[in-house]
């Protein structure tokens, strides 16, 4: 039987801390949020391994979603520099783990999920674990959730081809948007900020994570 509390401590000390995560607040929340509660029961003993964990597969196996590996997620959360007064949009919340992490760092989180099954799971888990400053909503991930915006922080929980204009528009002046742009080993963690109404981004570190649905560029013919 796995001791999840001990495994969580080892995750922080052996996976996250040695990989340039120095924020005390980020280390603390990754050491306190029970990751095992956000994976399928059959995978609970794998909750703290240093890899992505499948959390949902559709009936034909074509649609897959993953819980991001701890090290990559922790670096991305640190990059977002979430503050206690911030309103956060968590894009692609999956089963709600990223939402739980963010909720411990900010004022409130809007957790956006496109899959109704995942959204229901996230809502149930967050309620059971008393993350009362988080609300789960459903909709197309690439559209964001303008009804509760604009946001101080937008966290995109997977790899994308590009940041849609709809999400940039939902960022507050001075706000931060964190995303992994590019797939596989070509992925780069980028920090986007809004200044004088304009959004600009810069690459911060290489990062390979699983893609989110809805953000793929349409393929075009080239002559």
DSSP line for 106-151: SSEEEEEES-HHHHHHHHHHHHHTT-TTEEEEES-GGG--GGG--E
Q: How far is CA 155 from CA 6, 10, 112, 139, in A?
A: 28, 25, 10, 16
Structural domain spans, the chain: 4-206
Task: Say if residue 222's pLDDT is above 70.
Answer: no
Out of 3.40.50.150, 3.40.190.150, 3.20.20.150, 3.30.160.340, select the CATH number for domain 4-206: 3.40.50.150
Q: Taking the alpha carbons of 192, 93, 31, 186 in that order, is the dihedral positive or negative?
A: negative
- The tokens for 144 are 């964001």
pLDDT tens for each residue of 144-181 = 999 999 999 999 999 999 999 999 999 999 999 999 99
Main-chain dihedrals φ then ψ at residue 46, nearest 5 degrees: -105, 5
Specify whether the CB–CB gap between 90 and 114 falls below 8 A: no
Give the predicted TM-score (pTM) of the model.
0.94
Q: pLDDT digit string (tens) for 100-129?
A: 999 999 999 999 999 999 999 999 999 999
pLDDT band at 185 (very low <50, low <70, confident <90, very high): confident
User: Is residue 75 within 8 Å of residue 207, measured between CB atoms?
Assistant: yes
| Whole-number Å distance between alpha carbons of 20 and 163 | 25
């Amino acid at each position: 039987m796995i001791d999840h509390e001990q495994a969580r401590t080892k995750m922080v000390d052996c996976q996250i801390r040695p990989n340039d995560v120095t924020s005390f607040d980020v280390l603390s929340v990754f050491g306190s949020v029970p990751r095992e509660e956000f994976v399928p029961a059959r995978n609970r003993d794998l909750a703290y391994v240093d890899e992505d964990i499948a959390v949902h597969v559709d009936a034909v196996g074509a649609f897959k979603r993953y819980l991001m590996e701890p090290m990559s997620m922790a670096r991305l959360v640190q990059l977002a520099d979430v503050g206690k007064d911030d309103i956060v949009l968590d894009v692609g919340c999956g089963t709600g783990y990223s939402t739980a992490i963010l909720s411990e760092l900010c004022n409130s989180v809007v957790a956006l999920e496109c899959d109704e099954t995942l959204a229901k799971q996230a809502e149930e888990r967050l309620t059971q674990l008393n993350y009362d400053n988080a609300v789960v909503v459903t909709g197309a991930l690439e559209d964001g959730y303008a009804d509760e915006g604009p946001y101080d922080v937008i966290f995109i929980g997977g790899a994308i081809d590009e940041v849609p204009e709809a999400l940039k528009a939902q960022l507050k002046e001075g706000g931060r948007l964190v995303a992994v742009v590019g797939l596989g080993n070509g992925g780069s963690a980028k920090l986007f900020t809004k200044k004088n109404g304009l959004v600009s981004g810069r690459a911060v570190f290489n990062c390979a994570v699983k893609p989110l649905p809805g953000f793929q560029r349409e393929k075009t013919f080239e002559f």
